[in-house]
Amino acid sequence: MRPLSDVTGLAAAVAVQALILGAATDRELIVASGCAGRSPAGIRSQVVWLTVPLLIVHVLCAVS
Protein backbone atom coordinates (compact mmCIF):
# COMPACT_ATOMS: atom_id res chain seq x y z
CA MET A 1 0.00 0.00 0.00
CA ARG A 2 1.23 3.50 -0.88
CA PRO A 3 1.01 6.26 1.72
CA LEU A 4 -1.45 9.05 0.99
CA SER A 5 1.23 11.66 1.65
CA ASP A 6 2.31 11.29 -2.01
CA VAL A 7 -0.83 13.07 -3.21
CA THR A 8 -0.58 15.66 -0.46
CA GLY A 9 3.07 16.28 -1.31
CA LEU A 10 2.24 16.75 -4.99
CA ALA A 11 -0.54 19.19 -4.15
CA ALA A 12 1.77 21.16 -1.86
CA ALA A 13 4.53 21.25 -4.50
CA VAL A 14 2.16 22.48 -7.21
CA ALA A 15 0.68 25.11 -4.88
CA VAL A 16 4.09 26.44 -3.87
CA GLN A 17 5.29 26.43 -7.48
CA ALA A 18 2.22 28.47 -8.44
CA LEU A 19 3.01 30.94 -5.65
CA ILE A 20 6.61 31.25 -6.82
CA LEU A 21 5.71 31.76 -10.48
CA GLY A 22 2.93 34.20 -9.63
CA ALA A 23 5.07 36.35 -7.33
CA ALA A 24 5.30 39.83 -8.86
CA THR A 25 6.55 41.78 -5.84
CA ASP A 26 9.26 41.18 -3.27
CA ARG A 27 6.65 40.65 -0.58
CA GLU A 28 4.91 37.93 -2.59
CA LEU A 29 8.25 36.25 -3.24
CA ILE A 30 9.03 36.29 0.49
CA VAL A 31 5.67 34.66 1.23
CA ALA A 32 6.29 32.05 -1.49
CA SER A 33 9.76 31.30 -0.11
CA GLY A 34 8.32 30.90 3.38
CA CYS A 35 5.77 28.45 2.04
CA ALA A 36 8.51 26.62 0.12
CA GLY A 37 10.52 26.22 3.29
CA ARG A 38 7.74 25.10 5.59
CA SER A 39 4.88 23.16 4.13
CA PRO A 40 6.38 20.88 1.48
CA ALA A 41 9.33 19.73 3.56
CA GLY A 42 6.99 18.80 6.39
CA ILE A 43 4.81 16.70 4.11
CA ARG A 44 7.36 15.02 1.83
CA SER A 45 11.07 15.82 1.90
CA GLN A 46 11.35 15.14 -1.84
CA VAL A 47 9.09 18.10 -2.58
CA VAL A 48 11.99 20.40 -1.70
CA TRP A 49 13.72 19.25 -4.89
CA LEU A 50 10.71 20.47 -6.90
CA THR A 51 10.25 23.87 -5.26
CA VAL A 52 13.62 25.23 -4.14
CA PRO A 53 15.36 25.18 -7.56
CA LEU A 54 12.40 27.07 -9.05
CA LEU A 55 12.64 29.59 -6.22
CA ILE A 56 16.36 30.06 -6.82
CA VAL A 57 15.86 30.62 -10.55
CA HIS A 58 13.05 33.10 -9.90
CA VAL A 59 15.18 35.07 -7.42
CA LEU A 60 18.19 35.13 -9.75
CA CYS A 61 16.06 36.32 -12.68
CA ALA A 62 14.47 39.02 -10.52
CA VAL A 63 17.86 40.30 -9.36
CA SER A 64 19.43 40.56 -12.80
- Please report the pLDDT score of residue 64 as a whole number: 62
- Dihedral-angle region of residue 13 (phi above 0 means left; psi in -120 to 50 means alpha; beta otherwise): alpha
pLDDT of residue 27: 92
How much is the mean pLDDT over the chain? 82
> Is pLDDT larger for residue 51 or for residue 1?
51
The pLDDT value recorded for residue 3 is 60
Confidence of residue 28 (pLDDT cuts 50, 70, 90): very high
User: Which residues, 6+ apart, have CB-to-CB distance to 16 below 8 Å?
Assistant: 32, 35, 36, 39, 40, 47, 51
Q: How many domains does the chain have?
A: 1
Instruction: Tell me the CA distances in angstroms from 56 to 24, 26, 40, one per residue in order.
Output: 15, 14, 16
The domain containing residue 45 runs over which residues?
5-63
Q: What is the band of 5 on the pLDDT scale with cuts at 50, 70, 90? A: low
